[in-house]
Amino acid sequence: MTLRIFGMSFVVSIAALVAAFLYGGSTAVLLTLVLGVLEVSLSFDNAVINATVLQRMSDFWQRMFLTIGVIIAVFGMRLAFPLGIVWLTAGLDPVDALHLALNPPTDGSPTYESIVTAAHPQIASFGGMFLLMLFLGFLFEDKELTWLSWIERPLLRIGRLREAPVVVALTILVLAATLVAPDHDTSTVMVAGVLGVITYIVVNGLGRLFHIETESGDGPTALAKATGRAGFFLFLYLEVLDASFSFDGVIGAFAITADPIIIALGLGLIGAMFVRSLTIYLVHRGTLSEYVFLEHGAHWAIGALALLLLYSLGTEVPETVTGLIGLVLILASLATSIVYRRRNHTEGVHI
């Protein structure tokens, strides 16, 4: 099963490295490989969260996520998205933006990289607020098991107020816009952040509207998995979620290269493909039900990423910091899950 799930990722990765070599030689291959490894290492929390949604979808929509979803991830977020930013902020059409990316100016005029980087306030605010809403929704949601109980249990009582995630998120947005972001970016950050909250509410609301109740609390049965419109809206939710995770990765990629082709090959074809395969693997192996706190750790990693994105409005945050915080939280939740599983198993045998 492992080979079947990851086989296509290896094939696509080899093809991406061959394309990189034909495009820019051994240097392009090295940069593509570095970007691919970077994307996979920073996106494990993304895969875990994707798996919690994907396990509710039918086999058809899971295949759509692994195929059509990859096309959206590669050509949408990793290629078209930066070009779209240049188009909107610099007034250049996508063709001229691509030309600018492939032919950096030497006369001191704005480069493709500088234009995309200048749009960081909008990107960080929108993506940060979308991810923050996801984290707060989980944090305030009533659940039997809590991981960091000393924090989570008191917040469960606050979560009885249905509007709590929105209230807390908008409060954090106001603080970030007024205290963290430069004064000239305050209105921009506010508008982009509110749009991030609205996008989450709409997309998540559509998913809940067509949510199919399961027969037990252990996950969806074969008959309960989402199909049709339900599967489509969950697929849409996953793509928006993936886009929010991709914002900081795309911007961070410019620290390695500004070439959109190499970014698309590394972050997109290699990174996004492996993240999707990892997501499918987690679903098929039942990892989330086996390691019960893994989902908790992933959501806390999302919360940390969201706050770091908002913090980056005023101070640059290295990609290594973002990745290490998420990795530490994931590993901690995995270790706690193993201890919890062994303890329960021992008690079950003793009984």
Averaged over 218-228, what is the pLDDT?
A: 48
Q: What is the mean pLDDT of residues 217-231?
A: 52
Tell which wins on pLDDT, 66 or 325. Answer: 325
pLDDT band at 351 (very low <50, low <70, confident <90, very high): very low
For residue 208, is pLDDT > 80? no
What is 278-326 written as a DSSP string?
HHHHHHHHTHHHHSTTHHHHHHHHHHHHHHHHHHTTTS---HHHHHHHH
Of 220-224, 255-259, 325-329, 332-336, which gets the smallest average pLDDT? 220-224
Return the higher-pLDDT residue of 311 and 105: 311
In terms of DSSP H, where are the helices of the chain?
2-42, 44-54, 59-71, 81-90, 94-102, 112-118, 120-139, 149-158, 164-175, 186-209, 228-253, 260-263, 273-285, 287-290, 294-311, 319-350
pLDDT for the residue numbered 225: 57
Band of the pLDDT at 218, cuts 50, 70, 90?
very low
Q: How sure is the predictor about 224, in pLDDT bands with cuts at 50, 70 and 90?
A: very low
Query: What residues does each domain of the chain span?
Result: 2-350
Q: Is the pLDDT assigned to residue 131 strictly greater than 80?
A: yes
- Spatial CB neighbours of 187, under 8 Å, sequence gap ≥ 6: none
Distance CA 287, CA 42 (A): 19
Question: What is the tens place of the pLDDT at every residue in 290-306?
Answer: 788 888 888 898 888 88
Confidence of residue 20 (pLDDT cuts 50, 70, 90): very high
State how far the Cα of 56 lies from the Cα of 62, in Å rounded to an integer.
9
Mean pLDDT of 310-314: 89
**Mutual orientation of helices 186-209 and 120-139 as an angle, nearest 10°?**
40
Q: Tens of pLDDT along 58-93? A: 778 877 877 787 777 767 777 777 777 777 766 777
Q: Which pLDDT tens digit goes with each residue over 64-73?
A: 877 787 777 7
Stretch among 25-29, 41-45, 57-61 having the lowest mean pLDDT: 41-45
- The segment with the largest mean pLDDT, out of 202-211, 253-262, 313-322, is 313-322
What is the reported pLDDT for 215? 38
pLDDT computed for residue 187 by the predictor: 92
Determine the pLDDT at residue 4: 76
Is the confidence at residue 244, as pLDDT, over 80?
A: no
What does pLDDT average to over the chain? 79
- Whether the CB-CB separation of 152 and 158 falls below 8 Å is answered with no
Task: Provide the pLDDT for residue 350.
Answer: 43
Mean pLDDT calculated for residue range 119-144: 86
Q: Which of 131, 155, 132, 151 is nearest to 142 (CA)?
A: 155
Please, which pLDDT band fits residue 45 given cuts at 50, 70 and 90?
confident
